[in-house]
Amino acid sequence: MFSTTPFVLSFSLLLSLPILFLIGPRFLPPRHSSAPIPLTDERDDLSLFNRAASLSSSSSSSFSHLSTNPKLKIAFLFLTNSDIHFSPLWQRFFHGNSHLYNVYVHADPSVNVTRPDGVFLDRFISSKRTYRGSPTLISATRRLLATALLDDPANGFFALVSQYCIPLHSFRYVYHSVVTSTSFDRTESDARSARFGVRFRYKSFIEILSNEHTLWKRYTARGRFALMPEIPFDKFRVGSQFFVLMRRHALVVIKDRTLWRKFKLPCYRDDECYPEEHYFPTLLSMADPNGCTHYTLTKVNWTGTVNGHPYTYRPAEVSPQLIRQLRQSNFSESYLFARKFTPDCLKPLMGIAEKVIFRD
């Protein structure tokens, strides 16, 4: 005969496993590869955001400041944790258009990043350490937005890119598409966005998805009820972290405190935790869904994705045909940027820059 007490104890433990599986995330401490955001970083950011918000009046956010600033600018926000591998390509992209853009770079200070000359000279902002799949990437992006808002009131649009991004067109094509074209956005009719051939209605180009197959896993990555009550599941959205925002939406981002308190929480599921792909789509979908296109202008190939990383193009794949394929979009006249490319793609990309990439 077996001992009754050990048998009962073992049986009870066996029965408790499903219960622990269900409620564990609500009580057990979270595991995450990165440390929480330091309080000093939070304080620094809050001071920056408050200054940017106070100096950016409601009139400037609605573009009525054009009477004194006739040319809107695009602020290019480079988020990187390594060298800006394609800086020579970007230099050629920006050449001759200095009155229509500004450049800002957030580089992880824990990495020895080479600072290029030219358009990148003195454009590196005060930065904090970042970690993949953590809220630090949200903080870094908000830092870039706030700095650009403070720096130049003519910054009307804010394009977020990484060190692995490349332009797919000339600067003039990109500027025309984002700022002046009345037909670039195929999801918006000319009648709703323009009058007498002049554009008056603008939207932010940001991907916002509500039917992604891992949506529930991503929503519960911090715990089943962690985002409640501010963010019920039916309001949760995901999408690409790379966007082009209007000025008024950039202000929405830096003014937010409510959703940030939720999305800065650490995750229990590292494999489904990509806060930078959750925070911005959810925030802008809740704040102004009709003011967003719900698609991105940055082409990414997710075929054969590994550990959350997109397909990475290598030098042998760079060709005029590839550039033309990457431009193709179902939502706009063209994608404007693409990723992800290995650093050694620079030489073949420069070889086709003038005759292919910048020839629209």
Rg (CA), the chain: 23
Question: Does position 340 have pLDDT exceeding 70, yes or no?
Answer: yes
101-107: strand order across its sheet: 101-107, 73-80, 155-162, 244-246, 204-207, 292-294
Q: What are the structure tokens assigned to 282, written together?
A: 């959810």
Mean pLDDT, residues 127-140 taken together? 94
High-pLDDT (> 90) share of the chain, %: 75
Which tens digits make up the pLDDT trace of 230-281? 999 999 999 999 999 999 999 999 999 999 999 999 888 777 889 999 999 9
Which tens digits make up the pLDDT trace of 98-129? 999 999 999 999 999 999 999 999 999 999 99
Which tens digits make up the pLDDT trace of 179-228? 999 999 999 865 465 554 556 679 999 999 999 999 999 999 999 999 99
Which tens digits make up the pLDDT trace of 52-87? 999 875 445 455 554 445 689 999 999 999 999 999
Question: Does position 295 have pLDDT exceeding 90, yes or no?
Answer: yes
* Polymer length in residues for the chain: 360
Question: Which pLDDT value is given to residue 37?
Answer: 86
Q: Which DSSP string corresponds to 280-296?
A: HHHHHHHH-GGGEEES-
Which tens digits make up the pLDDT trace of 272-291? 889 999 999 999 999 999 99
Question: Which pLDDT value is given to residue 290?
Answer: 95
Which letter does DSSP use for residue 331 in this model?
A: S
Are 229 and 266 within 8 A, CB to CB? Answer: no
Before 229, cis peptide (omega within 30)?
yes
Question: Which pLDDT value is given to residue 5?
Answer: 55
3-class DSSP state of 83? coil
Closest of 141, 158, 173, 217 to residue 359, by C-alpha: 173
Are 80 and 163 within 8 A, CB to CB? Answer: yes
